[in-house]
A = this chain, B = another copy of it.
Amino acid sequence: MSENLIKPDLQAMGKAAKEAARQLYRLDTATKNSVLNAMAAALREAEAEILAANAEDMQAAGHLDQAMQDRLRLDSSRLDSIAKDVENVARLKDPVGEEFDKRMLQGGMNIRRRRVPLGVVGVIYEARPNVTVDVATLCLKSGNAVILRGGKETLRTNQAMAKVLKTVLREHNLPEQAVQLIESPDRELVGQLLKLDQYVDMIIPRGGASLHQLCKEQSTIPVITGGIGVCHLYADSFIDLEMAVPVIVNAKVQRPTVCNALDTLLLHHSIAPDLIPDLAKSLAEAGVEVRADVQSYPLFEALNYPKLTHSTHQDFGTEFLDLILSVKVVEDIDEAMEHIAEYGSGHSDGILTLKTDHAERFLNEVDSAAVYVNASTRFTDGAQFGLGAEVAVSTQKLHARGPMALEGLTTYKWLVEGQWNVRP
């Protein structure tokens, strides 16, 4: 662990990453895929070293709660699934090289756009042992160099896995600086990374609201912000109650700690009395705390709902990341959409309805990264959306919105082939 005592030189890391990126820029898909498959094999071969490093991390994490410890822990089967994910990345379609908007301009110039790697990507992430490999291999597949800054709780695991990836790069005559890990836990280094605009083309924060805010405020590099989801479902006046209840429950309880989990249920006043009894039963079974507005409270109260409180203003527009649901009765679809525009975070919002004109209006007028009709908000995810992977869920509007995978790690350039043309 002596490396941790030497303060990394971020400028030097940035420069090395940019140089490495120039080599990756030229790699063909077959080469990238064979490196990726070699990485998967090498990770499996290095199981002993990686699990030993993880055991050290686990020992240092003895003071953390069980849920956190479980998240940090690697075992043989989890490592195998990380290796499988790398093989999956090798199978994904390579967006680099794709050409579009081909046209002929005046004077016989041929113009087209070609998708190319971004260059260098900086990723700042929480302590999850799979992210290092996941992000590094997605960056490699899209031809980018990456600078990784992971949570300190998995530092030894990250070091062991990065070492494996670097060895494979070297064995394929590729620059090992294509994958660099900031190994010191010094928080100041995050600030330094965010200012490396001379070398780094994009910053992806993967973490909570405060990390995204920090990046937004301090970075001189374009940032993909996101991750915060204040998600709504609106149960419209004409719905299939039997079908609607499982969708609402799924959105709330299937995995409450993630950004696409439901936070606020909006109910049309006409269906609230019919919907709430069935819904309350399922929510109560799942242990959901309900924070009900003045109109819905009596309906839950009449059922002796076990975990019931009066909602306050703070319960709307809040990402609970927990088994808590705020409930509000609205007059109509307009009030529902107004509420979403005011309190939502533009992540995932849906309508449950049998009225096609209401579905249409909701799809047209609600401006969120993912807008749903009759489905759980839990589907907002790169894999679920058929992208094969996910590097981030963007809730900002530039470059990529919603789940972002390989295409989001590319840019394009304009290619112009002339016949000695001059501008008149």
Cross-chain contact B119 with A397 (CB below 8 angstroms):
yes
Does A217 touch B at the CB level, under 8 Å? yes
Does A103 touch B at the CB level, under 8 Å? yes
Cross-chain contact A202 with B397 (CB below 8 angstroms):
yes
Cross-chain contact A386 with B421 (CB below 8 angstroms):
no
- In the complex, chain A residues 339-355 whose Cβ is within 8 Å of any chain B Cβ: 341, 350, 352
**Given A421-B375, A422-B247, A422-B250, are A414 and B370 also a contact pair (CB < 8 Å)?**
yes
**Given A396-B222, A416-B371, are A25 and B379 also a contact pair (CB < 8 Å)?**
no
Cross-chain contact B364 with A421 (CB below 8 angstroms):
no
Cross-chain contact B367 with A119 (CB below 8 angstroms):
yes
Question: What's the Cα separation between A209 and B202 when bound, in Å?
Answer: 20
Cβ–Cβ < 8 Å partners of A352 in chain B: 420
Question: Residue on B with the closest CB to A243?
Answer: B420
Question: What's the Cα separation between A384 and B380 when bound, in Å?
Answer: 39
**Given A412-B401, A414-B370, A418-B374, are A379 and B222 also a contact pair (CB < 8 Å)?**
no
The interface bits of chain A over 367-381 (1 if a CB of B lies within 8 angstroms of the residue's CB, else 0) are: 111111111101110
Question: Residue on B with the closest CB to A111?
Answer: B385
- In the complex, chain A residues 396-419 whose Cβ is within 8 Å of any chain B Cβ: 396-399, 401-403, 411-419
Question: What's the Cα separation between A341 and B23 when bound, in Å?
Answer: 12
Max count, chain B CB within 10 A of own CB: residue among A119, A240, A397, A403:
A397
Question: What's the Cα separation between A402 and B411 when bound, in Å?
Answer: 11
**Given A222-B398, A401-B411, are A386 and B103 also a contact pair (CB < 8 Å)?**
yes
Question: What's the Cα separation between A402 and B103 when bound, in Å?
Answer: 16
Cross-chain contact A397 with B197 (CB below 8 angstroms):
no
Cβ–Cβ < 8 Å partners of A231 in chain B: none
**Given A372-B416, A411-B401, are A386 and B111 also a contact pair (CB < 8 Å)?**
yes
Cross-chain contact B398 with A399 (CB below 8 angstroms):
yes
Does A309 touch B at the CB level, under 8 Å? no
Question: What's the Cα separation between A22 and B413 when bound, in Å?
Answer: 33
Cβ–Cβ < 8 Å partners of A401 in chain B: 411-414
**Given A373-B417, A374-B417, are A411 and B398 also a contact pair (CB < 8 Å)?**
yes
Question: What's the Cα separation between A220 and B368 when bound, in Å?
Answer: 20
Sort A-B residue pairs by CB-CB distance and give the 6 closest, nearest first. Answer: A375-B418, A250-B422, A243-B420, A397-B411, A378-B423, A398-B399
Q: A26-B365, A373-B418, A397-B411 are in contact. List 9 more A-B contacts (CB 8 A).
A: A25-B365, A201-B397, A240-B420, A374-B418, A375-B417, A375-B418, A379-B423, A385-B414, A398-B398
